[in-house]
């Protein structure tokens, strides 16, 4: 979706892991980075991650200096990320900020999940998410998330545990009746060059999710 001398922004498909997973032999995006060298001697570097089942904006740094810059931007929270999701249920209010730290816990069978536990002190990881409802239809909610921290599974846990409305298709934190996680990294905004205006990149919504969103009484601004 975007390429310049410092960064690339890809529209990652849902279902593709960014890194190899334990015991997994399936293709992952890290194995394909050479395809985006575009004349440079080394492949680009992953500036951050997306869950395997999340689609949308993924930033790559084209070389080490660009990676240093992107690491600084993420560390100082100067990368604005917007996600769209469909929730199973309707939150009690139309917008808010969730400040609920996360802790890891193992379920029977050895599966590690994350829980929102604001009282676990030093063991908990800070996790803050701003959100607002875009539309409601048939007890499902089209929601916008703007995470202020970048924890693994943050939006999924905050939706299920704090809002009480898991993301549709979330097999780990929700119900199993829908195919595919209804979570899309819609846009990113950041300034790879300190002396220039920030980039604003929107990722087109995948077809399956677009069909679901079309049922809601809301029309977003054009890209």
119 is catalytic: no
Paired tokens of 160: 């299920």
Q: Which residue has the tokens 């680009």?
A: 44
Paired tokens of 1: 């979706």
Q: Could you tell me whether strands 55-61 and 183-190 are parallel, antiparallel, or unpaired per DSSP bridges?
A: parallel
Catalytic, out of 4, 51, 119, 120: 51
Distances from the Cα of 143 to the Cαs of 25, 126, 196, 219, in angstroms?
A: 34, 22, 31, 13
Distances from the Cα of 37 to the Cαs of 4, 60, 86, in angstroms?
A: 12, 11, 35
Q: So which residues are the catalytic ones?
A: 51
């Amino acid at each position: 979706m975007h390429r310049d001398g410092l960064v690339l922004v890809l529209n990652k498909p849902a279902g593709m892991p960014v890194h190899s997973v334990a015991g997994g032999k399936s293709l992952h995006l890290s194995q394909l980075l050479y395809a985006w060298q575009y004349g440079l001697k080394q492949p680009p570097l992953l500036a951050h991650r997306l869950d395997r089942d999340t689609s949308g904006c993924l930033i790559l740094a084209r070389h080490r200096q660009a990676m240093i810059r992107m690491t600084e931007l993420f560390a100082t929270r100067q990368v604005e990320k917007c996600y769209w999701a469909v929730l199973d249920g309707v939150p009690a209010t139309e917008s808010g900020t969730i400040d609920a730290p996360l802790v890891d816990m193992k379920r029977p069978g050895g599966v590690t999940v994350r829980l929102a536990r604001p009282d676990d002190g030093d063991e908990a990881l800070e996790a803050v998410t701003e959100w607002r409802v875009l539309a409601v239809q048939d007890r499902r909610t089209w929601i916008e998330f703007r995470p202020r921290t970048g924890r693994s599974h943050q939006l999924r846990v905050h939706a299920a545990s704090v809002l009480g409305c898991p993301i549709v298709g979330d097999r780990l934190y929700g119900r199993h009746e829908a195919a595919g996680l209804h979570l899309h990294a819609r846009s990113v905004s950041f300034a790879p060059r300190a002396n220039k205006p920030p980039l604003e990149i929107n990722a087109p919504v995948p077809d399956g999710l677009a069909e679901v969103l079309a049922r809601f009484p809301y029309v977003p601004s054009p890209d």
